[in-house]
Amino acid sequence: MRVGVLTIELAILEARTLKDKRRVIKGFKDRLRNRFNVSVAEVGFGDAPKRCRLGVVMVSKETRPLHSQLDKIVDLVRRTGGLTLIDYQREVF
């Protein structure tokens, strides 16, 4: 069994309040869960209205599908309006 962990740091430039940020992030987390069957949690910048760090975790029998799906998630972040990708880190164990 292999575990893939993706840490994504985002900017939400249009958010003015934490409520704005949570609305955007909740919708994005729901989309990730539904589309990729992953676990997603906000793991950093909880009190910053314009920044967010998400942790995404996925389990698979093989390494190759993990890398492929995590790459697709990063591509989705880049294409999602309202979110700006600042940095990401991918690890497979």
Q: pLDDT tens across 12-58, in order? A: 999 999 999 999 999 999 999 999 999 999 999 999 999 999 999 99
Question: Model confidence at 85, in pLDDT bands (50, 70, 90)?
Answer: very high
**Domains observed in the chain:** 2-92 (3.30.70.1120)
Q: How far is CA 45 from CA 61, 66, 87, 91, in A?
A: 32, 26, 14, 21
Q: How far is CA 17 from CA 14, 50, 51, 72, 91, in A?
A: 9, 8, 11, 29, 32
C-beta of residue 25 within 8 angstroms of C-beta of residue 84: no
At residue 27, the pLDDT reads: 95
pTM of the model: 0.92
Q: How far apart are CA 81 and CA 93, in angstroms?
A: 31
At residue 87, the pLDDT reads: 98
At residue 76, the pLDDT reads: 97
